[in-house]
């Protein structure tokens, strides 16, 4: 898949597609490639580019509120998930985190309880071009956890995360990370305490807040727009 863009106009396309825009009709050649420029029948130019991680976030079919890139960046930055790693994930949802981890080179096994959501996530993995590195299973991780081996990281975005964390040390390699996202502080507190109780090291919970800056003739300050809070992430490490 490719993105055809001009300013705030953005279309998800394949070579050979016909795209109708307010600036005319685009006929994408079969051999179109990222970096090319294509014109509508009215002579209006559009740029062609490949999808990157943030584009996947914008264009995935959604089955709920996806994890935001700021939280994904936190998880990838703290855990260092990268090429050659294996990750156990639960609470797939739209699949944003799974896709980012796979695009970083990891092999991801992710569990989604809702079969319809799981199918949407599989389709999103195809769009992100990581279907060969992400296995989306429809089911409850807690019911299969005992049969799974060790992973370099375990990432969770589920209401039952505290119960799952009880068994996490058995499924992390030495030096492996737990990263559990919680939209509510009560869940984060329970995950944090459980992670400490089961002996994970360097357990810490952080709140993700990001504020845009506002620059105008009067001066510079953080934007007075909506609060930049998204959620809480609890980390722990197996040594």
Convert the pLDDT of each residue in 45-81 to its tens digit: 999 999 888 888 888 999 988 899 999 999 999 999 9
Fold of the domain built from segment(s) 2-50? Vcp-like ATPase; Chain A, domain 2 (3.10.330)
Its sign, for the CA torsion 131, 153, 197, 73, is negative
How does residue 17 score in pLDDT terms, banded at 50, 70 and 90? Answer: very high
Residues of the chain with CATH 3.10.330.20: 2-50
How does residue 43 score in pLDDT terms, banded at 50, 70 and 90? Answer: very high
136-152 tens-digit pLDDT = 999 999 999 999 999 99
Distance CA 183, CA 225 (A): 20
More confident residue, 59 or 237: 237
pLDDT of res. 199: 97
User: Over the chain, what is the mean pLDDT?
Assistant: 94
Q: In this model, does residue 224 exceed pLDDT 90?
A: no
pLDDT of res. 228: 83
**Which range among 20-29, 59-68, 171-180 shows the weakest confidence by mean pLDDT?**
59-68
Within 8 A by CB and 6+ apart from 132, the residues are none
CATH superfamily of 55-237: Vaccinia Virus protein VP39 (3.40.50.150)
The answer to whether 175 and 239 have CB atoms below 8 angstroms apart is yes
pLDDT of res. 225: 75
75-132 tens-digit pLDDT = 999 999 999 999 999 999 999 999 999 999 999 999 999 999 999 999 999 999 999 9
Distance CA 54, CA 229 (A): 19
Distance CA 84, CA 235 (A): 21
Which has the closest alpha carbon to 191: 144, 157, 221, 216? Answer: 157
pTM score, two decimals?
0.88
Distance CA 132, CA 25 (A): 34
Q: How far apart are the first and last CA of the chain?
A: 41
Give φ, ψ of 38 to 5 degrees.
-120, 150
Distance CA 84, CA 105 (A): 6
Residues of the chain with CATH 3.40.50.150: 55-237
């Amino acid at each position: 898949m490719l993105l055809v863009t001009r300013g705030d106009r953005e279309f998800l396309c394949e070579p050979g597609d016909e795209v109708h825009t307010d600036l005319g009709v685009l006929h994408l050649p079969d051999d179109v490639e990222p970096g090319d420029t294509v014109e509508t029948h009215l002579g209006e130019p559009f740029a062609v580019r490949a999808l990157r991680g943030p584009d996947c976030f914008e264009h995935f079919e959604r089955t709920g509120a996806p994890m935001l890139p700021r939280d994904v960046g936190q998880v990838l930055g703290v855990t260092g998930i990268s090429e050659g790693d294996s990750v156990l994930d639960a609470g797939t949802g739209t699949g944003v985190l799974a896709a980012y981890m796979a695009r970083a080179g990891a092999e991801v096994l992710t569990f989604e309880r809702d079969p319809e959501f799981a199918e949407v996530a599989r389709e999103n993995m195809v769009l992100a071009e990581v279907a060969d590195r992400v296995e989306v299973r429809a089911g409850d991780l807690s019911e299969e956890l005992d049969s799974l081996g060790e992973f370099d990281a375990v990432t969770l975005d589920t209401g039952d995360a505290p119960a799952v964390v009880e068994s996490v040390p058995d499924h992390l390699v030495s030096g492996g990370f737990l990263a559990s996202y919680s939209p509510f502080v009560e869940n984060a507190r329970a995950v944090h305490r459980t992670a400490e109780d089961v002996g994970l090291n360097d357990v810490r919970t952080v709140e993700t807040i990001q504020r845009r800056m506002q620059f105008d003739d009067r001066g510079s300050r953080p934007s007075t727009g909506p609060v930049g809070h998204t959620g809480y992430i609890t980390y722990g490490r197996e040594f």
